[in-house]
């Protein structure tokens, strides 16, 4: 944007300058200089009416004397700075008023000129003042554009957030349906397992209740609890490959029969990994639920922290439920005797911390409630 109107062109409207001075000769000199340079000039001798002129006209620049009767230049400066913050104001002062001129500069005047005013000094100061004004105006335009853009972005964020919330609700609903299908699928598999071994009827559901509660006490949450729930229901999945005669045998098992049954943890793991890839984490838990804490278990002789925590939890719940349940070759043992036995094998067969959680929180009572409701 150019700082003045070029003669003979229509490229831009003339810049307007408001000259305020109680000395008419000075006003005429300034008017002559500015008009020749293409400016539109409005003049005022000052007084109270000057504020009406400021309110009702549009100016690019104000030139004002400091010392005037009725209304002095400091009052005009204060008004302009308060009401029109992009309009620069140049103050006029006599030689004896330098201190006053410096004071009005501190209060926001763009610059001051000494009387009598030289044309070169006047035009140079006006050029700088108008460049300053254009920068202020452009800065305000950019601020307004930035606010509009921020509001646009905020609106887009609100709209996108709303869309994402709808999608999240849809996904949550879909996940709920999928989880329900998974639970139904797992329950069907669990019932298939128990159909082969009538003496373990209800064992899978009792395991689920005990293991989920033990998992919470052990600090598991969210997906970890969900995986543990599936693994507890399916921990004996591999028994579908075990001969029913061996499962329901009333006498002691031979070494071959014992080895045959021991393979069920590996078989259950393999069924899930090969048949249901999404169940891989569950499969790893199932494959390790007969590992002993001291490394003497099977099939991989894992020990302590090498054994998945879900498998260690299942081992504790499985031992308790198995020993308190009737089997083909014996009646279930009293709860007190089983707890004593669990304490004996804590640190060798079972994880001692999980055993302690089971006993301290009296989870054997929870197991009894599940049996009663079976």
* Claim to verify: residue 239 and residue 338 sit in the same structural domain: yes
Distance CA 53, CA 43 (A): 10
Beta partners for 61? 17
User: For 145-199, how does the pLDDT look when each residue is reduced to its tens digit (9 = 90+)?
Assistant: 999 999 998 898 888 888 888 888 877 776 666 566 566 666 666 666 666 665 5
Please tell me whether residues 91 and 237 are part of one structural domain.
Answer: no
**pLDDT higher than threshold 80 for residue 44:** yes
Average pLDDT over residues 344-369: 89
108 & 226 share domain: no
Which stretches within the chain are classed as H helix?
Answer: 24-36, 49-56, 73-83, 98-106, 119-196, 203-217, 223-234, 244-247, 255-262, 264-275, 280-287, 309-324, 335-345, 352-360, 363-373
What's the rounded Cα separation, in Å, for the pair 52 and 42? Answer: 13
Averaged pLDDT for residues 266-291: 85
Q: What pLDDT does residue 214 have?
A: 96
Per-position DSSP letters for 84-148, written without gaps between them:
-TTS-EEEEE-GGGHHHHHHHHHTT-SEEEESSPPHHHHHHHHHHHHHHHHHHHHHHHHHHHHHH
Work out the pLDDT band at 10, boundaries 50, 70, 90. very low
pLDDT greater than 90 at residue 12: no
Are 132 and 276 contained in the same domain?
A: no
Residues 74 and 221 in one domain: no
Q: Is residue 177 part of a domain?
A: no
Q: Given this model, what pLDDT does residue 372 score?
A: 46
Query: Looking at residue 260, what is its pLDDT?
Result: 77
* pLDDT band at residue 3 under the 50/70/90 scheme: very low
CA–CA distance from 246 to each of 242, 257, 333 (Å)? 7, 7, 22
Does residue 79 contact residue 71 with C-beta atoms inside 8 Å?
A: no
Distance, C-alpha 274 to centroid of its chain = 37
Q: What is the mean pLDDT of residues 333-352?
A: 94
| Strand 61-65 versus strand 89-93 pairing type | parallel
Task: Give the distance from CA 32 to its chain's centroid.
Answer: 66
Q: Are strands 89-93 and 40-44 parallel, antiparallel or unpaired?
A: unpaired
Quick check: is 173 in a domain?
no
Tell me: do 360 and 220 sit in the same domain. yes
- Are residue 130 and residue 208 in the same domain, yes or no? no
Question: DSSP state, 252?
Answer: P
| Residue 156 phi, psi dihedral angles, 5° rounding | -65, -40
CATH number, domain of 368, equals 1.10.3210.10
Average pLDDT of the segment spanning 12-31: 91
Closest CA to 313 of 283, 333, 296, 288: 288
The answer to the question of residue 151 being in a domain is no
List the 16-20 sheet strands across, edge first: 40-44, 16-20, 61-65, 89-93, 111-114
For the chain, what is the mean pLDDT? 85
Is 369 domain-assigned? yes
Residue 129 covered by a domain: yes
Residue 317 belongs to a domain: yes
My answer on whether 244 and 352 are in the same domain is yes
- How many structural domains is the chain composed of? 2
Range of the domain at 116: 16-143
Cβ-based neighbour number of residue 148 at 10 Å: 10
In terms of residues, how long is the chain?
374
CATH of the domain at 93: 3.40.50.2300
Give residue-wise pLDDT tens across range 104-130. Answer: 888 899 998 988 889 999 999 999 999
């Amino acid at each position: 944007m150019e700082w003045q109107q070029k003669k003979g062109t229509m490229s831009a409207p003339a810049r307007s300058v408001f000259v305020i001075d109680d000395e008419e000769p000075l006003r005429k000199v300034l008017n002559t200089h500015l008009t020749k340079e293409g400016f539109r000039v409005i003049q005022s001798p000052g007084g109270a009416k000057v504020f009406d002129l400021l309110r009702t006209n549009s100016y690019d620049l104000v030139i004002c004397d400091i010392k005037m009767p009725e209304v002095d230049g400091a009052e005009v400066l204060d008004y302009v700075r308060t009401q029109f913050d992009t309009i620069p104001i140049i103050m006029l002062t006599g030689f004896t008023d330098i201190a006053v001129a410096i004071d009005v500069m501190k209060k926001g005047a763009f610059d001051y000129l000494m009387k009598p005013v030289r044309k070169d000094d006047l035009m140079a100061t006006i050029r700088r003042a108008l460049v300053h004004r254009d920068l202020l105006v452009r800065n305000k335009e950019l601020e307004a554009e930035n606010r509009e853009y921020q509001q646009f972005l905020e609106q887009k964020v609100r709209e996108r957030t709303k869309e994402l919330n709808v999608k999240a609700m849809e996904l949550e609903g879909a996940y709920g349906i999928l989880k329900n299908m998974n639970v139904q699928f797992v329950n069907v598999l669990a019932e298939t397992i128990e159909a082969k071994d009538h003496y373990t009827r209800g064992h899978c559901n009792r395991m689920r209740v005990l293991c989920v509660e033990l998992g919470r006490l052990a600090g598991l949450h969210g997906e970890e609890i969900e995986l543990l729930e599936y693994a507890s229901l399916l921990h004996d999945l591999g028994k579908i490959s075990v001969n029913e005669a061996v499962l329901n045998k009333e006498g002691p098992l031979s070494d071959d029969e014992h080895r045959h049954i021991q393979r069920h943890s590996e078989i259950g793991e393999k069924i899930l990994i090969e048949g249901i890839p999404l169940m891989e984490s569950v499969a790893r838990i199932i494959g390790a639920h007969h590992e002993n804490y001291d490394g003497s278990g099977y099939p991989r002789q894992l020990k302590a922290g090498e054994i998945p925590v879900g498998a260690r939890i299942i081992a504790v719940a499985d031992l308790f439920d198995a020993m308190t349940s009737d089997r083909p070759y014996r009646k279930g043992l009293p709860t007190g005797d089983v707890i004593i036995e669990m304490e004996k094998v804590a640190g060798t067969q079972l994880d001692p911390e999980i055993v302690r959680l089971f006993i301290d929180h009296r989870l054997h009572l929870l197991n009894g409630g599940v049996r009663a409701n079976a």
